[in-house]
Amino acid sequence: MYAQVFGRRNISSASRGLRGYGTMFGDHCPLVVTSAQLHNLKNDSSVQERDLVVLDASWHMPNSPRKADEEYRARHIPSSRFLDIDRVASPHPLNLAHMMPHPHAFAKACSELGIAPSTHVVIYDSQGVFSSPRALYMFRTFGHHRSSILDGGLPGWLSHGGTTQHEQQKFMHAKYATPTLDGKAVKDYKHMVKNAKLDPAENAEAYYVLDARSKGRFLGSDPEPRPGLSSGHIPYSISLPFTAFLETHNIPDDVASSIEGNLSLTYTRLRSTQGIIIALEEALGPQRAKEVLDGKRQVVASCGSGMTAGVIWLGLKMLGLDSVGIYDESWTGYAMRPASEIVKGE
């Protein structure tokens, strides 16, 4: 049962008019749930359709042949719905994909997905932990704290005995008022250019920019997956590949033998909080990591297009940090502009 999995929380005054499921966490749900926990939620007879919505937020790199929407139609967690992160995004003057949507667009998408403000939204992807954190960042930044990711995603669900279906369930639209965006969590190009002029070693107001791309792309020795785009990094940024916060697992052989299609037989899960702290210390060094962990230095995550920066954001949120944002355009938006200063090498 839901209460047995997570324990009971005090009921806030704002939640007293809601059904039991909605009040067990007040306005907050855990950042991460396991496959066993999701199974319990889905099989709790007290949970109504509007109480819990599971979203497939899978996304693949531009150079990948995989199509997330087609894979969803072929196989998904029962009763889950597909969230197209690129379709929900707001238009950008540089035609960048999956930018943070306008509040009205976010509310419309929630309404069409049958999500109400009281709904606990559980988000997964088909690679384990890859694009789901970006979707969670979107929900949380719009104040929808009743949201979580499924650790291990679809492969983890299958590995732990979960079933899938190809049929798409019909559901009713919901009412969702236009929310307020937490602007402090979203950084734009002007923010990054201003910060790039500040040496964090000399200026306590400068925030640490953690670059989630591979070390080769950060150094400028490896090409970007987007043709014509220079690799390298923003001045004073720090390399922290998103994979440092993850661990790789194998789908059991008996499950793997029954899987058809493009699903990989390996998948990722988040490291323990101690593992995330170790990765943070290895990237930043003990002194700078302590600044971050003590809440004395703001952090902004960046990556290629704003997607895997969500993994860094989530890992730091799991450590209880508040001052964590994402550079929405990330490297693609920065490097596309001729005026941008690009550093290569260390």
Residues 76, 120: Cα–Cα separation, whole Å: 18
Helices (H) and strands (E) counted in the chain, each on its own, are 15, 12
Single-letter amino acid code for the residue at 175: K
Q: Are strands 324-327 and 238-239 parallel, antiparallel or unpaired?
A: unpaired
Residues 52 and 67 sit within 8 Å (Cβ to Cβ): no
List, in sequence order, every residue forming a beta bridge with 121; answer none if it has no partner: 53, 147
Asked if 142 contacts 181 with a C-beta cutoff of 8 angstroms, the reply is yes
Nearest residue to 263 via CA among 133, 134, 83, 74:
74
The tokens describing 269, both together, are: 């899960």
Separation of alpha carbons 308 and 96, rounded Å: 15
Any idea of the CA torsion for 144, 150, 153, 154, to the nearest 10 degrees?
Answer: -100
Catalytic residue chosen out of the listed positions 41, 174, 303, 324: 303
110 assigned to active site: no
CB 131 within 8 A of CB 58: yes
Measured distance CA(331)–CA(123) in Å, rounded: 25
- Residues belonging to the active site: 303
